[in-house]
Amino acid sequence: MDILLTHGYFLYDDPHELQVMKPYPPLGLLYIASHLRAEGFAVDVCDNTFSSFEAFRARVEQERPPVVGFYTNMMTRRNVVRLIPVCKAVGSTVIVGGPDPANYPERFLDHGADIVVIGEGELTLSELLPHLAAHGPRDMAHIAGIVYRDEEGRLVQSAPRPYIKDLNAQPFPARDAIDIHRYMSVWRQHHGQGAVSLITARGCPYKCTWCSHAVFGYTHRRRSVENVVDEVARIVADYDPELLWYADDVFTIHHRWLFAYAAELGRRNLHRPFETISREDRLNEAVVKTLADMGCYRIWVGAESGSQEILDAMQRRTDADRMVEMVKLLQKYGIQAGMFIMLGYEGEEEYHLQETVDRLKAASPDVFLTTVAYPIKNTAFYRTVEDRVALTTEWANGSDRDYLITGRRSPRYYRHATRWMVNEVALHKQRLDSDTDLPRMAKRWLNARLGRAGMWLARNDVVAADSL
């Protein structure tokens, strides 16, 4: 074995996902695995999703891999930091990559990692692995796309690694390296249908202030229609899923490509229901009709706010009124509309929240999910509030979600605001649907009022510097 690829996500330690039970495989690792295999490297993948910390320890102690590569995001930071010493104890060189190490390379090196990969990992690891086999983790400054410490302990960051230009030349993800059928089984057990994920492009060219571009930058590189359809055909032949999840940042960004893709799927009779993510400005009637004809059953619209003022502050480049129109258009064509809503962005006041509730009522999406804005390192939002942020826990035990911003309303206020928003919109939708379940209606009315009252009581709660 040349490298063991792994990650720090353990499903059975995630209370939220245990309520949802819609896990997806680590596509990024599977892309790296297939690339390295094609280059002649011996690659194993340890998928921790359905496993445990102790099972990982046992495997590492038995196999003693020369190199371990971790994919890490902010939510798996804590586990990866715990797993690194397990690998170091058996003499493995530890490489970490993904969005969180790209934002905190020095921190990960301080916690035992030997090398941090910045950006895409395929080409970097192809060059790095032979060097490690011959020389170990030293004298690596000529290898683009990495950060490490030299023998004197000085931080060394090499030149940036250019992005992969031709995604068609990349092999499909090595789904055979893990137990995809386990994922399908969990889906079918809990939802009656199995799902497989794929991506048709890498990156997002939009510059929303709160969004991290730590891995793909602001590029948008698209695979050809034929290449993606070939992968769908392979997925159908190997796994026969009832559903597909297109995990692109913005699936409908390129309309001409979408129309050609739909036509090729139809020509090859590859019809599978799917869901994906888009933006209101990349939807119109022709696009929505095409999505419906393809079998799209749900679109998640990145709405973020119902206030045009806040959308403009986010540099979102979307229209709050048109967002309402696009939700209704999706529903007209039989596509469920989901929306993402962010509370607490810099400069948001209560009237902005009211505008969001009003537009949610007007749109009446099938479902919407809320989060409270948090500053991800190296984003424009983070830079705006950098002098007012502090972690509420040790870095190794938390994530960027644990930042508090001094001068902003308290987490208690936003808990009440979320309660009000969710119940106020649900009550309105129940009335629109002529739902006469009076006990449920009464419960929603009460929760909305309690949320609003809680907001009033907490309206002067502001995060103070001396409270951190």
> pLDDT tens across 391-420, in order?
889 999 999 999 999 999 999 999 999 999
Q: What is the CA radius of gyration of the chain?
A: 23
pLDDT band at 464 (very low <50, low <70, confident <90, very high): confident
- 270 CB burial (10 A radius; 0-12, 13-18, 19+): middle
Question: Is 7 strand, coil or helix?
Answer: strand
394: CB partners within 8 A, 6+ apart: none
- Which pLDDT score is estimated for 467? 55
Note the pLDDT tens digit of each residue in 346-384.
Answer: 999 999 999 999 999 999 999 999 999 999 999 999 999
The answer, yes or no, to whether residue 210 has pLDDT greater than 80, is yes
CATH of domain 3-155: 3.40.50.280
Q: Which of 284, 227, 237 is nearest to 261 (CA)?
A: 227
Q: Which of 147, 92, 104 is nearest to 124 (CA)?
A: 147
Q: Which residue has the tokens 């070939």?
A: 230
Amino acid at 276: T
Angstrom CA distances, 332 to 75, 271, 285, stand at 37, 21, 10
- Which pLDDT score is estimated for 337? 98
The domain limits of the chain are 3-155, 193-364
The alpha-helical segments, DSSP class H, found in 90-202 are: 99-103, 105-110, 122-135, 180-191
Q: Which of 202, 203, 261, 270 is nearest to 234 (CA)?
A: 270
Q: Which residue has the higher pLDDT, 466 or 415?
A: 415
Minimum mean pLDDT range among 21-30, 124-133, 167-176, 431-440: 431-440
- 284 CB burial (10 A radius; 0-12, 13-18, 19+): middle
| Long-range residue pairs from 216-219, CB within 8 A, at least 24 positions apart, any chain | 216/119, 216/120, 216/163, 217/119, 217/163, 219/163
Q: Judge contact between 149 and 189, C-beta under 8 A.
A: no
Could you tell me which residues are beta bridge partners of residue 45? 5
Q: Which residue has the higher pLDDT, 400 or 466?
A: 400
Across 86-95, average pLDDT: 98
The answer, yes or no, to whether residue 426 has pLDDT greater than 60, is yes
- Which pLDDT score is estimated for 66? 98
Minimum mean pLDDT range among 46-60, 63-77, 171-185, 426-440: 426-440
Q: How far apart are CA 459 and CA 248, in angstroms?
A: 38
Mean pLDDT, the chain, integer? 96
Percent of the chain at pLDDT above 70? Answer: 99
| DSSP letters for 408-464 | SBPHHHHHHHHHHHHHHHHHHHHHHTT---HHHHHHHHHHHHHHHHHHHHTTT-B--
The alpha-helical segments, DSSP class H, found in 282-349 are: 285-294, 308-313, 320-332
Under DSSP, the state recorded for 111 is T
- Which pLDDT score is estimated for 262? 98
Q: Judge contact between 241 and 195, C-beta under 8 A.
A: yes
Topology annotation, domain 193-364: TIM Barrel (3.20.20)
The answer, yes or no, to whether residue 468 has pLDDT greater than 60, is no
- Which token pair is 190? 């809990």
Dihedral-angle region of residue 91 (phi above 0 means left; psi in -120 to 50 means alpha; beta otherwise): left
CA end-to-end span of the chain:
46
Q: Which residue has the tokens 């607490």?
A: 344
pLDDT band at 435 (very low <50, low <70, confident <90, very high): confident
- Which pLDDT score is estimated for 436? 86
Dihedral-angle region of residue 139 (phi above 0 means left; psi in -120 to 50 means alpha; beta otherwise): left
Q: At what angle do helices 77-89 and 53-63 cross, to 10 degrees?
A: 30
Q: Which residue has the tokens 């445990």?
A: 52
Amino acid at 107: R
- Which pLDDT score is estimated for 465? 66
- Which token pair is 266? 């139809």
- Which pLDDT score is estimated for 391? 84
